[in-house]
Structure 1
Amino acid sequence: MTETVSRTVERIVFGQPTSDGAGVKLLRVLTHDLQRRLDPFLMLDEFRSDNPGDYIAGFPEHPHRGFETVTYMLDGRMRHRDSAGNEGLLGPGGLQWMTAGRGLMHSEIPEQEDGLMHGFQLWVNLPARRKMIPPAYRDLPAEAIPIYQPADGVEVKAIAGAYDGLKGAIERPDTEPVYLDIRLEPSREHFFRLPETHNAFVYVYDGAADVGSPARTVTVRQMAILSNTAGAGGVCLATGATPVRLLLIAGQPLNEPIAQYGPFVMNSRAELEQAFTDLRSGRFGQETA
């Protein structure tokens, strides 16, 4: 692996406006048709509005099984409650990492009546052998997420994985996700190392960035899928006259079948049917023989 060889931009993706929960308006960036290409990631949503009507009803109680949800808040306050007895308040800069495993009912309700609500939810798949593990939950405030400054005008908030040998707030087995929130000041260029085996993408949420080499400009609310270039040690990111804020996300693919129906992600249709059976019978989330 050559550390200074950059991945290129394979494709630029425009998010799809949609709504979820009780009518929360959001931008769905990583959609169902990209799940195989960006394995182990299943979905990425951005929610951003200062209109309470777009978010106030939140996400009432609903089930999940077979994967992990990662909610990262930039602005606003969201209350989490779940059937395992967990409760937490996700505030500005905070992180919630929830492992649904064999099953969990949870709700996410805004704890504000006005102001800006801005954040992201990422779904990360679990391997077949771990889909039915007990559910788990971690709630981290902003101050628990390490911030690094590898160069002048470059700031990296390391949400998950390792950045340049430095640990992020969360480490996960199997998928080994890298999740970085990056800020580059104007007229900066920096090379960000990534594991060569990982699928990776960039999502720009403020400003514009030149991504890869040769560079392609990726503007606000666009996702750039990064090529799996043999020998590339990472990706080069650069700015022009304005600063940029972006997410750089990468993960080890599982290369397993994906069977999804709404909030359930398993490996086969039979496992999906079992999830619905368990939900209807009251055995959802319980340990199986």
Structure 2
Amino acid sequence: MSIRPVKREAAAQPTMEGAGVHLHRAFGFSDPREVDPFLLFDDFRNDIPDLYREGFPWHPHRGIETITYVLAGQVEHADSLGNRGVLGAGDVQWMTAGSGIMHQEMPRGDRQGRMHGFQLWANLPSRLKMTTPNYQDVPGTEIPVRTEDDGTVIRVVTGDWRGIRGPVDGIAADPRYLDISVPPNTARRIKVEVERKAFAYIFAGAGTFKGASDPFGVLLEKEYQGEELNIRDLSGDRTLVVFDRGDEVEIRSGPEGVRFLLVSGKPIREPVAWHGPIVMNTRAELEQAMKDLRNRRFIRESAKGI
């Protein structure tokens, strides 16, 4: 087994989307090869309703899939398939835009005004760019949870992990999307197949990811026996960690523990022509999509529902 070294760490950057939603973007609208098949990852978290209540009014998508995972508050949604609903804390929505879909997402805070969720965009291969749009809501109660002997808790949102299958299925990128909580001062290794690209996103507590050449990899085999990490070595809230190749990811949590998402997928390795929420393979396909949008032909007859 080989530990995946850290290729890059970066803080998610504040930005604004939709009708004025303040959020943090971990990656997106840059070189899509780094985390292929993933294109964008946003952390929409706020406890000030004025900074998110206008939401994401009707807008188009084509050529991608989106996975929305809500931790606090609610997201009311509707789309051109005729779907309408509300995502609550712990719920997941998977949407295949395919040939084209229009949808809106309107965040609503909990009783304290808190709103927190994530949205991940996954690319579609060329053979599925114009597939029929599809949609699935999954309640949080259906997401399997596994607690390890050391107290680590893992929610399997999508994909297979140690014989557990997440409820969201049929995503072309075949992602494995894990929500992992590691107790304080604990080391943990998590298997990630070498052919997959992988990233982690820390959103609570702090920890550090190390490669095979780093010193605490040796300590892991002997248990830590109370050794303390230097606080300066820790990565904390809203930190993106992109991994290089290897079989496993290794993390050690800080004194407050750490909670992070670990996402991996099989690269598509195809050219990307990208304009906002529309992602195709060639410039000509992208221009056709924009023409369809202008001419009100973006939604195919078979995909109309509203």
- Normalised to the residue count of structure 2, the TM-score between the two structures is 0.88
1:98-143 residue CA offsets vs partner (Å, 9 max, x unmatched): 0000000000012448610001000000000001011111111110
Q: Name the residue aligned to 2:185.
A: 187
Q: Name the residue aligned to 1:255.
A: 269
Spell out the pairing of 1:13-32 with structure 2 (5 A cutoff). 13-32=10-29
In 1, the alpha carbon distance for the partners of 2:31 and 2:295 equals 33
> Tell me, which stretches of 5 or more residues in structure 2 are unaligned?
217-232
In 1, the alpha carbon distance for the partners of 2:144 and 2:9 equals 29
CA shift in 2, pair 1:135/1:174, >3 Å: closer
What is the Cα deviation at residue 172 of structure 1? 3.5
CA shift in 2, pair 1:96/1:210, >3 Å: same
SS in 2 for 1:109: strand
In 2, the alpha carbon distance for the partners of 1:255 and 1:39 equals 7
What is the Cα deviation at residue 174 of structure 1? 4.2
In 1, the alpha carbon distance for the partners of 2:31 and 2:240 equals 12
What is the Cα deviation at residue 37 of structure 1? 0.8
In 1, the alpha carbon distance for the partners of 2:168 and 2:201 equals 20
In 2, the alpha carbon distance for the partners of 1:28 and 1:173 equals 22
Q: Name the residue aligned to 1:282.
A: 296
In 2, the alpha carbon distance for the partners of 1:14 and 1:50 equals 20
Pair 1:221-2:235 in alignment: no
CA shift in 2, pair 1:142/1:174, >3 Å: closer
Q: Name the residue aligned to 2:279.
A: 265
Pair 1:83-2:97 in alignment: no
- Which of 128, 140, 154 is the aligned partner of 2:152? 154
- In the alignment, is the contact (CA less than 8 A) between 1:160 and 1:180 conserved in 2? yes
RMSD over aligned Cα, in angstroms? Answer: 1.6
Spell out the pairing of 1:1-289 with structure 2 (5 A cutoff). 2=1, 5-112=2-109, 115-172=113-170, 174-213=172-211, 214=214, 217-228=234-245, 232-286=246-300
Higher strand share: 1
SS in 1 for 2:247: strand
SS in 2 for 1:44: strand
Count of aligned pairs: 282
